[in-house]
Amino acid sequence: MTHAKPLIIDTDPGVDDAVAIMLALASPEVELRAVTTVFGNVPLPRTTENAGRLLALCDRSDVPVGAGAARPLVHPQRERAEAWHGGDGLGGRAEALPAPIVEPDPRGAVGLMASVLRAAGEPVTIAPIGPLTNVALLLAVHPELAPRIDRIVMMGGALGAGNTSGVAEFNVHCDPEAAHRVLTQTDVPVTMVPLDLTLRCPASPEWLDELAAGGPRCAELAQVVVRYRAAYRTRYGIDAVALHDAVAVLEATVPGTLATKAMPMQVACDLGPARGATVAVPGADGAPVHVALDADPDPVLAEILARLLRLG
């Protein structure tokens, strides 16, 4: 039996968040100690309920859910992502999933993360797959806990084109100030899994068919993806879906899956058209961020699918 590494997922479910959470639950290399929620694709009450429903679907109501930030740190959120994820965040299928079995943890996202970090016998991996507000707050409020975080593996940012503005990726665009705080701090190593890479790993119709045939939980997840797939057809003219968050969680689960390049990163936090852009700044202060720019898409997708199928 391999040793399971403690993991916290901070998330705004979200269709690809759902895939990512179920991937972590299916992976023996990690033990999911908490799911913390943030505003993002849809408002916070929805992302929190969706996290509870996904855990209930997988019979994992032992994993606590902590609700976090309902809005960005400084400026209001400019855009949500209902066009991709549906008004309920899960492609219109949220109500089809079992209701959450337990109430959200009274400690909230930051309190729950802090408790998990304090209680863990070894440093914990944190995988933020939504706006970075909760993680920025954790680092700001509990600097003493930084040595208890092994690494932060975040999905977000773009070195090339964005998906929310010409230059900004959604998670960073939602709260650029929080993303800047996380990417420029020097206490915890950060791996950034940007859009440039996740868009290169789209799941095909055949991949989705295999998922749908994998058992009742996998079939539910495949249903959650249907609307998202239609949005890809409309917006990009392709019949395939990027599983952004699952790619990051795979790296958090099996470190070294993605090839990274170290570069100092900064986030454009002005209010102009570049807001939310992640910019590599050679020679800048701060610890370099490990930016995942390369991976072989086929093995990545095969690995994600093989793991999900274990859930039945």
Specify the residue, 12 or 175, whose C-beta has the smaller distance to Ca ion.
Answer: 12
Specify the residue, 14 or 210, whose C-beta has the smaller distance to Ca ion.
Answer: 14
Q: Say which entry of Ca ion, ligand BDR, none residue 195 contacts (CB below 5 to 8 A, set by partner kind).
A: ligand BDR
Binding flag, residue 10, Ca ion (CB under 5 A): no
Residue 244 bears catalytic tag: yes
Q: Find the shortest distance in angstroms from Cβ 90 to Ca ion.
A: 12
Which listed range, 9-17, 118-126, 133-141, 210-218, lies at the site for ligand BDR (CB under 6 A)?
Answer: 9-17
Cβ burial of 212 (10 Å; 0-12, 13-18, 19+) is: middle
> x-or-dash pattern for ligand BDR, window 137-166, by CB under 6 A?
------------------x-------x---
Specify the residue, 6 or 130, whose C-beta has the smaller distance to ligand BDR.
Answer: 130
Q: Find the shortest distance in angstroms from Cβ 77 to ligand BDR.
A: 12
> x-or-dash pattern for ligand BDR, window 13-52, by CB under 6 A?
-x-xx-----------------------x-----------
Q: Find the shortest distance in angstroms from Cβ 157 to ligand BDR.
A: 9
Binding flag, residue 183, ligand BDR (CB under 6 A): no
Binding flag, residue 129, Ca ion (CB under 5 A): yes
Specify the residue, 88 or 169, whose C-beta has the smaller distance to ligand BDR.
Answer: 169
Catalogue the active-site residues. Answer: 244
